[in-house]
Amino acid sequence: MVREFPNGSVPLDSTWLNIARIPLEQLALLNLDRETWQQQLLPWQKQQKNCSYCLISYKDSLTRLANRRYFSIYLEQQWKTLAEERTSLSLILLEIDYFKLYNKTRGYEAAEECLQQVAKVVVDCVDCTNSLVARYEEEKFSIILPKTKASTTLKIAEKIRNTIKKLGLLHDPGIDGLPDRAITVSLGVASTIPDVEAAPSVLVRAADEALYQAKRKGRDRTEVKCIAASSLSSG
């Protein structure tokens, strides 16, 4: 089961909670058990007797996925855990092809609907324990896949790519020169066995480089970059 906020991984304290206008009952979306988040929020609630709302500062409001801030927290957490276990960690970076053009020609509302549909496809296609799907940038999404090898990650990425293409989200017919009328995505896959002496940013860089290669080769494709464990400790 995909968890947008994997169980037990959310640091519910004053660092991450701010007063805003989201009902407390929506905290259930974090997939924490009810007793845990009630206990965590009790001191805060006592201080804020007249306020029954809080802002989860690591959630994207449009797609309801984790945002980049939480992505970074969770990636670092998984990196440390899997470095101790000497187990694979994979990452997918996905970018919607020609999204800025789609936004400009189809309009703001259509662009938002596109992002929401892409987000849903990604979540539906990922079924790995403790995986995290996040909105990384405006038209970029990231998928953290603990204990998942490159070969399995590639299959997931290709499933996502093909499913999104079948959505039939079409560009404006008046635009010429596009390789495909339907919205497509490019994906970069990176995989390694984490090392405690290295930073998780090396995995992000590798996925970003793979994504760049996918775009350079014509978009609507997946490229893979594996990082040898020996190269992590050496540099």
Domains of the chain: residue spans and CATH: 17-56 (no CATH), 68-234 (3.30.70.270)
Largest CA distance in the chain: 60
CB 180 within 8 A of CB 164: no
Gap between the Cα atoms of 191 and 224, Å rounded: 8
| pTM for this entry | 0.79
CB 92 within 8 A of CB 145: yes
pLDDT at 229 over 90: no
CB 79 within 8 A of CB 194: yes
Gap between the Cα atoms of 155 and 148, Å rounded: 11
Angle between helices 108-125 and 99-106 (to 10 degrees): 140
CB 77 within 8 A of CB 130: no
Angle between helices 150-165 and 108-125 (to 10 degrees): 140
Q: Dig out the tokens for 110 from the structure.
A: 């259509």
- The SS3 assignment for 176 reads coil
Q: Report DSSP letters for 40-94, one per residue.
A: HHHHHHHHTTT--EEEETTB-TTT-SB-HHHHHHHHHHHHHHHHHHT--EEEEEE
For residue range 28-72, what is the model confidence (pLDDT) as tens digits?
Answer: 444 445 555 556 556 555 555 443 333 457 889 999 999 999 999
For residue range 153-169, what is the model confidence (pLDDT) as tens digits?
Answer: 999 999 999 999 999 99
Lowest mean pLDDT among 49-58, 74-83, 194-203: 49-58
Q: What is the mean pLDDT of the chain?
A: 82
- The SS3 assignment for 146 reads strand
The pLDDT of residue 41 is 55
- Report the run of H or E that residue 192 belongs to, with start and end: strand 185-192
Mean pLDDT of 91-98: 97
The pLDDT of residue 176 is 81
Residue 72 backbone class (left: φ over 0; alpha: ψ -120 to 50; beta: rest): alpha
The pLDDT of residue 2 is 43
